[in-house]
Each structure stands twice: as C-alpha cells, then as structure tokens.
Amino acid sequence: MRGLSLAGPAALLVLASLASLHVGPAKPGLPEIVAALLGGGDPAVEAIARYRLVRLLAAAAIGAGLAAAGAGMQFTLRNPLVDPYLLGVSSGASLGALVAVVFLGPSPWLIQLLAFLGAVSAYLVAVGVSGLAGLTGASLIVVGVAVGYLGYSGSVLLMNLYPDRIPFAFSWLLGTVAYTTLRDLEWLVPLTLASLIVLAVLVKRVEALSLGEERAESLGAGVRVTRLLVVSAASLAASSSAAVAGPIGFVGLAAPWLARLLGESRYSRVLVASLLWGALLVVAGDLAARQAAAPRELPLTPLMSLIGAPLLAYLAVRGKRGW
C-alpha cells in the first residue's frame, strides 16, 4: 500500500487532468486542445483550450490548497475531523469576499484581504468559543459547523439584499470553478503557493508537536507560534480559493484521510499525498460538474460530498485505523 500512497494519486491526477482537457460540452478533444495550446491548432479551438486550462489549473490549485490546509489543521490541532469547511473558515472567507464586493467594489486585493480576515475571524470564533468551553474533538466541529452556518447565512442574506451588486453566479455559494478567469489565477496561484511554502517550512515543528507539547517545547517548537502560523497559512489557502470559487467542502477532510488510509502516518508524507489527493478530488469533481448535466453547470460541494462522503465512510470503516 505504501508504495502506492504517492504514486497512486499522482498517476490518477495526471489522468484526471488529461481527461479535464479532453472532456467538455464542446467537441474538441485532447489532441486539438493540446495543438491549440501549443499554437499549432485550429484558432477556433483556442478559446476552448484556454478556458479548459484555466479551469484545470484553478481546480488543481484549489484542491491542493484546501487539502494542505486540512492536513495542516488536523495535525496542528491534533483533531482528525478538522477541515477548513467544517470549521467554518471557508464560509467565513466567502462572507468576507461578499462584504468586499457589496460594500467596497470589485477590487481583487480587497476581496482577497477581506476573505482572509473572514477566514481568520471564523477560525478564532470557532476555536475561541470551544476553547473557553473546554471542548475538543467532535465538539469543536459542532461549534465550527455553527460558525460555518453563520457565514453561509450571512452570504445568502447579502445575496438576497443586494442582488444587483453581486457579480457571482448563485452556484458560487456551493463552490464552482466554472467562472474562473486568468485574472483570478493571478491571485489564487501565488497565494496558494505562499501558504503551501509556509506549511512546508513548518513541517518539522508540526511533527515535533505530535510528539506531545512538552517534547515540542523542549525541541524549541513554540506551540502557540506554530499553531498560529499553520492556521494562518491554512486560512490563506482556504480564503484565496473561496474568494475565487466560493466555499468548497469535503476536500480538506477527505484528502488527508485518503492519504492516511493508504498507509501514510508521518505528517510530511501525509501533506504531500494530501496535495495530490486534494488536486485530484477537485479536478475530478469539476469534470462531473461540467459534464453530468451538460451544458448546465453544477456546483462542486454537493457533487464532492456525493462522490466523497460514501468513499470516506467506506474507507474509515474498513480501515478501522485510529488517529
């Protein structure tokens, strides 16, 4: 199993990426798309080629970012159920983005900034409230889900109160990369990369954390500082993706679980495997979103839970692995 834990998702990701360039409501297949991207093909196909590539890159970046955020949070908080969506961080980010759009205008950096602030606020509320009440484990998730509903309801409220100021499709509320542009990628990719690099640099400190807080302190890994940095990086990954594609559920929870169920346990390897699983899940989910009811577009979150929740339950039951 361990040999496949990285090669497996990597190979599937390559296949899914090729499929997502190959398949869509329009006719052109992979050869025409690749030819158009390299400049040698039919110019009429070029727009479709560009569109599919933007969509693929957005899906991969969002998937990798959310998965890394989930893995980082799970190991830092030592809670296997944590993920940006379940903690309310993604919904907080979406609400922040909507507040920026409605009250401050469609400036990309303000949208990103308020999304990040929304994400961090949601985290602080969820963890703060449960910390005051001394809640851990699944109880933390209950608070997180409540915070998430708050953010989600706020977004729905804004969309209803200011429909004329919202330039997003309604499917944005349930996550979609169908309306992503190159300008969106200019923000999404650097911010996701930044958060991934921060998470990578902190790998050793987080691994020390899992040995127990005392050990970690003695190794020089300040627990509070590490937690703050990891959560900030995870919030950045979640907020940059939510600002572009809305809140997308399930990825941050499922990707690290898939990595672990295939035999990984060390944080560094789970993180790498999660990146691949996350990208794979969103790329494959987006394939279904565009094709299942083509030419209609479906939102991602319901589709992702449709494919992922049963898979997760099955693997969790069968694996019977503890934390």
Structure tokens at 274: 């999660």
Q: Is 95 in the site for another protein (CB under 8 A)?
A: no
Which one of the spans 55-63, 74-82, 232-240, 280-288 is the region binding another protein (CB under 8 A)?
A: 55-63
DSSP element (H, E) containing 197: helix 182-201
Binding mask 11-50 for another protein (x = CB under 8 A): -------------xxxx---------xxx----x-xxx-x
At position 308, the amino acid (one-letter code) is: G
DSSP 8-class letter at 171: G
Residue 296 burial by Cβ neighbours in a 10 Å radius (0-12, 13-18, 19+): exposed
Angle in degrees, CA 251, 245, 303, rounded to 5? 50
Determine which residue in the list 193, 223, 311, 316 makes contact with another protein, applying CB under 8 A: 193
Question: Torsion angle of alpha carbons 158, 162, 165, 166, nearest 10°?
Answer: 40
- The Cβ of residue 214 has, within 10 Å, a number of other Cβ atoms equal to 9
Q: Is 278 in the site for another protein (CB under 8 A)?
A: no
d(CA 272, CA 274): 5
Closest contact distance (angstroms) between CB of 197 and another protein is: 6
At position 139, the amino acid (one-letter code) is: S
Which one of the spans 75-83, 192-200, 222-230, 309-317 is the region binding another protein (CB under 8 A)?
A: 192-200
Q: Is 182 in the site for another protein (CB under 8 A)?
A: yes
Determine which residue in the list 69, 191, 298, 303 makes contact with another protein, applying CB under 8 A: 298
Determine which residue in the list 59, 191, 271, 283 makes contact with another protein, applying CB under 8 A: 271
**Site residues (CB under 8 A) for another protein?**
24-27, 37-39, 44, 46-48, 50-54, 56-57, 60-61, 64, 159-160, 163-164, 166-172, 176, 178-183, 185, 189, 193, 196-197, 199-201, 203-204, 207, 266-269, 271-272, 275, 279, 290, 294-298
